[in-house]
């Protein structure tokens, strides 16, 4: 008798019929064996790298695990940087950008022009580009973000944003991750 394959939504975990305990043990062990055991020096380097990027280790490890790559750049929305027409970059945001030793690209939103964002950042951004307009479709969002990234692979970039629609940009462009500005650059 051939067992039927699990139905939709099944995580292929152990069944709940008799012998469940043994199957659960085997399944748990098999899952644990799939996870790599990192040498302590690699783990230390990754913890150090997470700190260099201003990320907690869990977020950094999640990006590494999901993409298989290190982070090489950040995209910052002008909202996340708190730069608006006629205003400069706040000191706390400037200090955060100054500590980053990876690519830093700005996305100018609304009436803010990319040149004005670059000027406000005072040399702390390597480039600035127009952000996708509100309610833009995924293809337009992807096109704008790919233009901003140039030759940088999207799965090696984290977007730091501060408005509801910005999380969607990361999904549309298949970026490594989205981080809310208040989590990445907390006030204080």
Are the C-beta atoms of 81 and 182 separated by less than 8 Å? no
Are the C-beta atoms of 69 and 156 separated by less than 8 Å? yes
CATH number of the domain that 163 lies in?
A: 3.40.50.1000
Q: Tokens in use for 148?
A: 């901003």
Is 25 a member of any domain? no
Is 92 a member of any domain? yes
Q: Mean pLDDT across the chain, nearest whole number?
A: 88
Q: How many domains does the chain have?
A: 1
- Domain interval for residue 68: 60-184
Is 140 a member of any domain? yes
User: What are the tens digits of pLDDT across the range 51-93?
Assistant: 999 999 999 999 998 898 999 999 999 999 999 999 999 999 9
User: What are the tens digits of pLDDT across the range 128-164?
Assistant: 999 999 899 999 999 999 999 999 999 999 999 998 8
Are the C-beta atoms of 14 and 23 separated by less than 8 Å? yes
Give the separation between CA 117 and CA 163, rounded to whole angstroms.
Answer: 17
């Amino acid at each position: 008798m051939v067992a039927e394959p699990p139905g939709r939504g099944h995580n292929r975990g152990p069944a709940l019929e008799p012998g469940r305990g043994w199957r659960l043990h085997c399944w748990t062990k098999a899952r644990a064996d799939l996870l790599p055991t990192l040498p302590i020096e690699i783990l230390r380097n990754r913890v150090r790298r997470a700190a260099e990027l201003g990320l907690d280790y869990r977020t950094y490890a999640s990006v590494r695990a999901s993409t298989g790559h290190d982070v090489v750049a950040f995209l910052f929305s002008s909202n996340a940087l708190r730069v608006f027409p006629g205003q400069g970059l706040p000191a706390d945001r400037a200090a955060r950008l100054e500590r980053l030793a990876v690519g830093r690209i700005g996305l100018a939103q609304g009436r803010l022009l990319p040149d004005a964002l670059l000027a406000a950042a005072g040399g702390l951004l390597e480039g600035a580009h127009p952000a996708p307009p509100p309610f833009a479709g995924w293809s337009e969002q992807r096109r704008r973000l790919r233009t901003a990234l140039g030759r940088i692979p999207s799965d090696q970039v984290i977007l730091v944003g501060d408005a509801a629609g910005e999380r969607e940009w990361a999904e549309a462009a298949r970026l490594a991750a989205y981080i809310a500005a208040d989590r990445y650059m907390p006030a204080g």
